[in-house]
């Protein structure tokens, strides 16, 4: 048997490196985190050949004093914590004291650093920088003088040159760089106050200025994740019970096939956490098309003592002391934000409010809610909505149309005749409580010039406008202040029915109505038994059943809301649902699913002719219904084509 012996420092570090250094991107993460911990305000990253040949990170942080330099590269050496108490409330990104030792054991690493001159020290001293490298099995450090401004530069060359087995796992330059780029995004999204740049093979890939104002933060997000996301995102800013959540969540109509646009930060550290993922998924459950993934960039802030970050070597996971509280808080906050999305939503994206700065780079839509309050952006309202060709269901981006108000200035944007139609429709429209009135004016302060502007306001055009026609029994065409609205009537009605059913069932107040002629339904004996057994559940959903014979049941009553449904299919499907879920607490858990299926049956089918008042009724209902921007499966229910979109289609110059 072989004798026991101590591993050489290099080998021990190489083993430790196995946990945290898989590819160049991991190194970027570790080094940039160090720069952030050192209080840097500017971090420059240079990468060659996907980071395999060279990674260089340069910062303007506090630097490392000469005497500490060798320690920085040795294992179990850190300046960030000293006691267990420190660890339990750690607020720096690093604390293990391992990253540099690990990285330098599997690459050629040099570190050059200079600190600010100490008080009383002559200015000249500040120029003195030192460079450190380690060599050999023992990883002995050697230090020599160098030139460097205050701050630190790390150069990592030839990753895995001495560990061929690991080197084999590296992919192509392109793939490795795409990982570097992804990690860069995470880091740049974690600290808006720091300037970041990334170059690959001498080419500038990102160059980000510090962002303190909301609008600049959105610019950064747009630069990193694409303007479409921020354009179709809700701004979140909430705080409760010592927890704070800020950031952006994509509208359900801006969903992804992958989980590739999900960024969640806990106290500035990006994490992938199952509890968090679950809470967010729950919040979207009702509004996301099957199999689609939400997009989000969210920041949770809480007392560092309430979260354990020391659960995984890469620190990608955390453990919350009170996981339940965090889960509930996330779910509630996001669920509510998403519920508020509807055509007249004021709570949809807000952070662009009062500023037109984003317009050329990001906002491709004139329908920013800011249009409602900021004349500055109104000038911008001629820009087309992204939707028509946009692949990712982003048509409803940032549309937030306040009812009874037209934000457009001047007559030019105002489709002639809407006001006239109003009166005609009004007599047709059911109890829509639309009060007609003449256009009036309102005064706004121009945020840029400070001047008072008089703005014409049409008082009574609702956000989704008034129906003009039905297209092929599927779409409702409506005219609103901006142009044409197209509504998928089945999808929209389904959502409305669903939301109403949910409320009714919640309040144990499902209005149900006897059928004039009860319907007898032939079923299997097992189904009939189940129908009897679940009679209470059926009743809670507003359906009254009776056993008529061993193999038949009689349907006596159905919810008023579903009176248009094909009753037999509705009941057959409900029966199937109830049987599948079995016990009543499971039924309760699957309640929304069951209600969703019921709503689908009860909603207007394609090809049903609607009268104009019916169509208008539907539009008004949409404006009043939570989540009405998407059907129960997350597909959009409506889209807007503005006059300028139409003009573009017809090459009509303005
Ligand atoms: N860019 C930098 N500027 C200033 N000091 C640095 C920098 N990078 C590293 N250091 C110093 O070197 C020490 C070691 O860094 P290293 O990344 O190995 O460990 P750590 O950050 O303390 O913990 P972890 O292993 O969790 O990252 C740090 O504690 C810090 O004092
Ligand atoms: Mg570190």
d(CA 358, CA 377): 10
Q: What pLDDT, in 10s, does the model give residues 423-452?
A: 333 333 333 233 333 334 445 455 555 555
Mutate to test the pocket of ligand 1, among 29, 55, 97, 116 (most ligand atoms within 8 A of CB): 97
619 CB burial (10 A radius; 0-12, 13-18, 19+): buried
pTM of the model as a whole? 0.69
The three-state secondary structure class of 490 is helix
Distance (Å) from CA 261 to ligand 2 centroid = 26
> Is residue 95 lining ligand 1, measured as CB closer than 6 Å?
yes
DSSP per position, 148-198: --SEEEEEEESTTTT-HHHHTT---HHHHHHHHHHHHHHHHHH-TTSEEEE
Helix 567-581 vs helix 525-533: angle between axes, to the nearest 10 degrees?
80
The predicted pLDDT at position 40 comes to 98
Instruction: Copy the structure tokens of residue 645.
Output: 């979109």
- Of the bound ligands, which one is closest to the alpha carbon of residue 97? 1
Of residues 121 and 631, the one with the higher pLDDT is 631
- Under 8 Å CB-to-CB from 11, ≥6 apart: which residues? 137
d(CA 264, CA 268): 9
Distance (Å) from CA 315 to ligand 2 centroid = 11
Distance (Å) from CA 70 to ligand 1 centroid = 12
Q: What pLDDT, in 10s, does the model give residues 96-136?
A: 999 999 999 999 999 999 998 776 666 555 558 999 999 88
Among residues 25, 35, 22, 180, the alpha carbon closest in space to that of 102 is found at 22
Mutate to test the pocket of ligand 1, among 31, 57, 72 (most ligand atoms within 8 A of CB): 72
Domains by residue range for the chain, with CATH? 9-208 (3.30.565.10), 211-402 (3.30.230.10)
> Is residue 97 lining ligand 1, measured as CB closer than 6 Å?
yes
Average pLDDT over residues 222-247: 93
573 CB burial (10 A radius; 0-12, 13-18, 19+): middle
The predicted pLDDT at position 562 comes to 83
* Whether pLDDT at 608 is above 90: no
The three-state secondary structure class of 529 is helix
Distance (Å) from CA 348 to ligand 1 centroid = 41
- Under 8 Å CB-to-CB from 187, ≥6 apart: which residues? 28, 29, 32, 33, 36, 196
Average pLDDT over residues 614-633: 86
* Whether pLDDT at 349 is above 50: no
What are residue 475's DSSP bridge partners?
471, 488
Q: What pLDDT, in 10s, does the model give residues 462-509?
A: 889 899 999 988 899 999 888 899 999 888 888 888 888 888 888 888
d(CA 190, CA 184): 10
- Of the bound ligands, which one is closest to the alpha carbon of residue 32? 1
Of residues 218 and 127, the one with the higher pLDDT is 218
Measured in whole angstroms, the distance separating CA 548 from the mean position of its chain's CA atoms is: 52
Identify the top-confidence range among 44-48, 76-80, 354-358, 570-574. Answer: 44-48
As a whole number of Å, the end-to-end CA separation of the chain is 89
Residue at token pair 């549309």: 399
Share of the chain above pLDDT 90, in %: 45
Q: What pLDDT, in 10s, does the model give residues 322-339?
A: 999 999 999 999 999 998
The predicted pLDDT at position 569 comes to 82
> Is residue 72 lining ligand 1, measured as CB closer than 6 Å?
yes
> Atom 28 of ligand 1 has which residue's CA nearest to it?
78
Average pLDDT over residues 383-409: 35
Of residues 250 and 445, the one with the higher pLDDT is 250
The predicted pLDDT at position 55 comes to 97
Strands 475-480 and 466-471: antiparallel
What share of residues in the chain are helix, strand, coil (percent, to 5)? Answer: 35, 25, 40
Pick from 24-38, 129-143, 354-368, 464-478: least confident: 354-368
- Of the bound ligands, which one is closest to the alpha carbon of residue 96? 1
The three-state secondary structure class of 202 is coil
The per-residue pLDDT of the chain, averaged, comes to 80
> Is residue 61 lining ligand 1, measured as CB closer than 6 Å?
yes
Atom of ligand 1 nearest to the CA of 103: 18
d(CA 580, CA 586): 9
> Is residue 30 lining ligand 1, measured as CB closer than 6 Å?
yes
Average pLDDT over residues 20-36: 96
The predicted pLDDT at position 452 comes to 53
The predicted pLDDT at position 450 comes to 54
The predicted pLDDT at position 370 comes to 28
Measured in whole angstroms, the distance separating CA 58 from the mean position of its chain's CA atoms is: 31
**Model confidence band, residue 183 (pLDDT cutoffs 50, 70, 90):** very high
Among residues 248, 247, 242, 262, the alpha carbon closest in space to that of 304 is found at 242
The predicted pLDDT at position 11 comes to 92
> Is residue 151 lining ligand 1, measured as CB closer than 6 Å?
no
The predicted pLDDT at position 395 comes to 44
């Amino acid at each position: 048997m072989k004798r026991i012996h101590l591993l050489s420092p290099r080998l021990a570090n190489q083993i430790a490196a196995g946990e945290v250094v898989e590819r160049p991107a991991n190194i970027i993460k570790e080094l940039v985190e160090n720069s952030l911990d050192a209080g840097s305000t500017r971090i420059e990253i240079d990468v060659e050949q996907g980071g395999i040949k060279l990674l260089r990170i340069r910062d303007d942080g506090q630097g490392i004093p000469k005497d500490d330099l060798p320690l920085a590269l040795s294992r179990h050496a850190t300046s960030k914590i000293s006691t267990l108490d420190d660890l339990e409330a750690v607020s720096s990104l690093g604390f293990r004291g391992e990253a540099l030792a690990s990285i330098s054991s599997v690459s050629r690493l040099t570190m050059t650093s200079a600190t600010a001159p100490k008080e009383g020290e002559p200015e000249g001293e500040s120029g003195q920088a030192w460079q450190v490298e380690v060599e050999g099995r023992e990883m002995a450090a050697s230090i020599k003088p160098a030139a460097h401004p205050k701050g630190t530069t790390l150069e990592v060359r030839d990753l895995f040159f001495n560990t061929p087995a690991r080197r084999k796992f590296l992919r192509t330059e392109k793939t490795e760089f795409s990982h570097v780029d992804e990690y860069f995004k995470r880091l740049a999204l974690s600290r808006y106050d720091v300037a970041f740049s990334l170059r690959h093979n001498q080419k500038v890939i990102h160059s980000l200025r510090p962002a303190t104002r909301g609008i600049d933060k959105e610019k950064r997000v747009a630069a990193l994740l694409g303007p479409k996301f921020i354009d179709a995102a809700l701004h979140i800013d909430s705080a409760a019970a010592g927890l704070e959540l800020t950031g952006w969540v994509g509208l359900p109509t801006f969903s992804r096939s992958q989980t590739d646009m999900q960024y969640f930060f806990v106290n500035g550290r990006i994490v992938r956490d199952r509890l968090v993922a679950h809470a967010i998924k729950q919040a979207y459950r009702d509004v996301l098309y099957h199999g689609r993934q939400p997009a989000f960039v969210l920041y949770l802030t809480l007392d560092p003592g309430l979260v354990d970050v020391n659960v995984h070597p890469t620190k990608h996971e955390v453990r919350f002391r009170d996981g339940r509280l965090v889960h509930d808080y996330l779910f509630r906050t996001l669920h509510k934000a998403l519920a508020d999305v509807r055509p007249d939503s004021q709570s949809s994206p807000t952070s662009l409010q009062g500023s037109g700065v984003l317009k050329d780079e990001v906002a491709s839509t004139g329908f920013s809610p800011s249009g409602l309050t900021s004349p500055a952006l109104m000038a911008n309202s001629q820009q087309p909505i992204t939707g028509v060709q946009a692949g990712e269901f982003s048509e409803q981006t940032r549309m937030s149309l306040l009812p009874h108000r037209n934000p457009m200035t001047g007559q030019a944007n105002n489709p002639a005749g809407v006001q006239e139609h109003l009166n005609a429709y009004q007599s047709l429209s059911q109890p829509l409580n639309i009060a007609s009135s003449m256009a009036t004016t309102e005064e706004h302060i121009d945020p840029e010039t400070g001047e008072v502007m008089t703005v014409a306001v049409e008082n009574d055009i609702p956000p989704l406008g008034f129906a003009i026609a039905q297209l092929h029994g599927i779409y409702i065409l409506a005219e609103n202040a901006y142009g044409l609205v197209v509504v998928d009537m089945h999808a929209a009605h389904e959502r409305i029915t669903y939301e109403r059913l949910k409320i009714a069932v919640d309040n144990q107040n499902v209005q149900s109505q006897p059928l004039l002629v009860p319907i007898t339904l032939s079923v299997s004996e097992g189904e009939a038994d189940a129908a009897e057994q679940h009679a209470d559940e059926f009743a809670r959903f507003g359906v009254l059943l009776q056993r008529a014979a061993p193999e038949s049941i009689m349907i006596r009553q159905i919810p008023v809301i579903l009176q248009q449904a094909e009753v037999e299919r509705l009941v057959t499907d409900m029966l199937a649902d109830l049987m599948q879920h079995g016990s009543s607490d499971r039924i309760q858990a699957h309640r929304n699913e069951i209600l969703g299926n019921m709503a689908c049956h009860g909603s207007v089918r394609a090809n049903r002719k609607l009268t104009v008042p019916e169509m208008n009724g539907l539009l008004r209902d949409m404006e009043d219904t939570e989540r009405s921007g998407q059907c129960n499966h997350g597909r959009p229910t409506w889209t807007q084509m503005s006059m300028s979109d139409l003009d573009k289609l017809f090459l009509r110059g303005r």
